[in-house]
Amino acid sequence: MTASGTKPRKLFIKTYGCQMNVYDSERMAEALGGAGYVTTDRAEDADMILLNTCHIREKAAEKVYSELGRLKPLKAANPDLRIGIAGCVAQAEGEEILRRAPVVDLVVGPQTYHRLPALEAAVRAGQRPVDTEFPEEDKFDHLPRTPRTRRAPTAFLTVQEGCDKFCAFCVVPYTRGAEISRPVDRLMAEARDLVERGVREITLLGQNVNAYHGAGPDGRDWSLARLIRAMAGIDGLERIRYTTSHPNDMDDDLIAAHADTPKLMPYLHLPVQSGSDRILKAMNRKHRAEDYLRLIERLRAARPDLLLSGDFIVGFPGETDADFEDTMNLVRAVGYGQAYSFKYSARPGTPAAERAGVAPEVMDARLQRLQALLAEQQRQQQEAMVGREVDVLFEKPGRMAGQMVGKSDHLHAVHVADHRARVGAVMRVRITQSATHSLSGELV
Ligand code: 5AD
Ligand code: SF4
């Protein structure tokens, strides 16, 4: 029962896509918490279901409509159930969603979810509101203060949002809007609050996080490197990561931070998309393959054990066999610890969507070859950890009794069967085994 004596309503949020959506879903839950909602992890119990959606590739967007199909029976069983679409599909399709899916009661884009309480009230008054504005006010300033509940040891913190790069294949500049950075003092306050609530590792998020240039307390714009160094000064915060970065925004100071800031973890997600200069140009990435390779050299000079992760697109319009071989060669030259690879998906409204695509069977074959190479590199880099000692931040009990799981500095999942391993502690582990997606070891 709430203070006013009414029974709290239940909110179920399903999150798709990137980590920024994970962070946004938490903020949406807090916004609706102020309107009397508590979260549930069972859709069947919910009074309100929000799908926080992703529009990056066609498959991701289509998932939303198939999920809505699955939710139909719940709505039939409970006429009071409200269903909302949030996130990037909401932004891209707006009103169209209401037409295509009669079960949907409200549509809210990624920049206006602080208005959810008002939108929810409108739904209860019988309307079907759509809010996909890019408002003047900052949504982060309008969210209720977080309840001071205990948190898991790792957390995301959005520091920058949107993108001005306009890669020819990408919807982000349209769905998330122009690049904006949050001010330093708010981020420091949020980080301190997270640490007081038990967080030991913070991942700074942004679609272009290394382009961060937020207003500092000294009236100057701070770079991401400066923000990271300031956060490293927070007692109790043990690890800092950041994602996702663009090669052209890796400045000297950020590279130096990898050498001089021990709390900054030796893992970097630095997408290159293709190894062909011709395709990089057609993608509007504004750098050559060689520039990327030189950058990796400088990063590795600063932090020799840096583990690299990346994103790749195969079958971008105009990609020839030779272009694809350039990508394979770049992957061989870098040696990734982990990577994501996708078939090109034409997104309405993006420049590349106008261009003739590569045949689907060619794309399939290329993706298979690239993924086999990336999987082999991942396997080798994991194998190389066996016999070594690593620091592990324990996050939760594992699937087997007595087992704990955490992440190493290099973001490898590590299993340990030892009752001394505690959630929230960073402990030294000797790696004894490498499996497909995780390592296991013993406390030292
Ligand atoms: N088709 C395929 N992959 C895409 N990505 C972004 N847009 C597309 C698209 N239209 C991939 C890029 C990006 C990652 C988040 O998703 O590799 O880095
Ligand atoms: Fe999309 Fe390119 Fe911006 Fe990344 S940098 S969000 S791929 S437009």
- pLDDT tens digit sequence for 183-238: 999 999 999 999 999 999 999 999 999 999 999 999 999 999 999 999 999 999 99
Nearest CA to ligand 1 atom 9: 345
165 lines ligand 2 (CB under 6 A): yes
Percent of the chain with pLDDT over 70: 97
169 lines ligand 1 (CB under 6 A): yes
| Ligand 2 centroid to residue 400 C-alpha, Å | 40
Asked if residue 2 belongs to a domain, the reply is: no
57 lines ligand 1 (CB under 6 A): yes
How high is the pLDDT of residue 263?
A: 98
84 lines ligand 1 (CB under 6 A): no
Q: What is the radius of gyration, based on Cα positions, of the chain?
A: 23
Q: How many Å apart are CA 221 and CA 122, to the nearest integer?
A: 39
Is the per-residue pLDDT at 5 higher than 70? no
Nearest CA to ligand 1 atom 16: 56
Mean predicted confidence (pLDDT) in 37-52? 95
| Ligand 2 centroid to residue 223 C-alpha, Å | 19
How high is the pLDDT of residue 147?
A: 61
Query: Which atom of ligand 1 sits closest to the CA of residue 171?
Result: 7
Do 361 and 401 belong to one domain?
no
246 lines ligand 2 (CB under 6 A): yes
Domain assignment of residue 374, given as a range = 140-383
* Type of residue numbered 76: A
54 lines ligand 2 (CB under 6 A): no
Asked if residue 54 belongs to a domain, the reply is: yes
Find the ligand nearest to 286 CA.
2
- Tell me how far apart the terminal alpha carbons of the chain are, to the nearest angstrom: 48
Asked if residue 359 belongs to a domain, the reply is: yes
Do 207 and 311 belong to one domain?
yes
Do 328 and 368 belong to one domain?
yes
| Ligand 1 centroid to residue 172 C-alpha, Å | 9
Asked if residue 362 belongs to a domain, the reply is: yes
Point out the domain boundary residue: 131, 158, 179: 131
Do 208 and 100 belong to one domain?
no
pTM for the full predicted model:
0.93
- The C-alpha angle 112, 101, 123, rounded to 5 degrees, equals 50
Q: State the CATH number of the domain containing residue 413.
A: 2.40.50.140
Is the per-residue pLDDT at 340 higher than 90? yes
Is the per-residue pLDDT at 138 higher than 80? no
| Token pair of 165 as six digits | 């790069």
Do 264 and 368 belong to one domain?
yes
DSSP 222-280: EEHHHHHHHHHTSTT--EEEEE---GGG--HHHHHHHHH-TTB-SEEE---B-S-HHHH
Q: How many Å apart are CA 409 and CA 195, to the nearest integer?
A: 18
350 lines ligand 2 (CB under 6 A): no
DSSP 113-178: GGGHHHHHHHHHTT---EE----SS-GGGGSPPPP-----SEEEEE-EE--S---TT--HHHHT-S
Q: Give Cβ neighbours of residue 265 (< 8 Å, ≥ 6 apart).
A: 201, 239, 240, 241, 409, 410, 411
| Ligand 2 centroid to residue 146 C-alpha, Å | 30
170 lines ligand 2 (CB under 6 A): yes
Do 159 and 272 belong to one domain?
yes
Q: State the CATH number of the domain containing residue 368.
A: 3.80.30.20
| Ligand 1 centroid to residue 156 C-alpha, Å | 21
Name the residue among 188, 180, 290 with its Cα closest to residue 233. 188
Q: State the CATH number of the domain containing residue 106.
A: 3.40.50.12160
- The C-alpha angle 378, 381, 382, rounded to 5 degrees, equals 85
How high is the pLDDT of residue 2?
A: 45
Find the ligand nearest to 174 CA.
2
163 lines ligand 2 (CB under 6 A): yes
Do 197 and 212 belong to one domain?
yes
Asked if 424 and 418 touch (Cβ cutoff 8 Å), the reply is no
Do 74 and 145 belong to one domain?
no
Mean predicted confidence (pLDDT) in 24-46? 93
How high is the pLDDT of residue 1?
A: 44
Point out the domain boundary residue: 78, 102, 131: 131
194 lines ligand 1 (CB under 6 A): no
| Ligand 2 centroid to residue 208 C-alpha, Å | 7
How high is the pLDDT of residue 12?
A: 97
Q: How many Å apart are CA 392 and CA 424, to the nearest integer?
A: 10
Asked if residue 3 belongs to a domain, the reply is: no
Q: How far is CA 369 from CA 13, 250, 260, 277, 365, in A?
A: 36, 29, 38, 20, 6
How high is the pLDDT of residue 61?
A: 81
Sheet order of strands, 201-205 included: 154-158, 201-205, 239-243
Percent of the chain with pLDDT over 90: 90
Do 76 and 194 belong to one domain?
no
Q: How many Å apart are CA 217 and CA 233, to the nearest integer?
A: 16
Do 102 and 186 belong to one domain?
no
| Ligand 1 centroid to residue 377 C-alpha, Å | 21
Q: How many Å apart are CA 86 and CA 55, to the nearest integer?
A: 11
Give the dihedral sign, CA 41/29/21/409: negative
Mean predicted confidence (pLDDT) in 393-415? 95
Asked if residue 4 belongs to a domain, the reply is: no
- pLDDT tens digit sequence for 418-430: 999 999 999 999 9
Do 83 and 182 belong to one domain?
no
Q: Which helix (H) or strand (E) holds 218?
A: none
How many CB atoms are located within 10 Å of the residue 97 CB? 23
How high is the pLDDT of residue 381?
A: 96
**Better-scored residue on pLDDT, 280 or 140:** 280
| Ligand 1 centroid to residue 29 C-alpha, Å | 28
Q: How many Å apart are CA 39 and CA 339, to the nearest integer?
A: 33
- Highest-scoring range by mean pLDDT, 33-42, 66-75, 282-291: 282-291
Count of domains in the chain? Answer: 3
Do 335 and 427 belong to one domain?
no
209 lines ligand 2 (CB under 6 A): no
Nearest CA to ligand 1 atom 18: 311
207 lines ligand 2 (CB under 6 A): yes
Point out the domain boundary residue: 131, 149, 171: 131
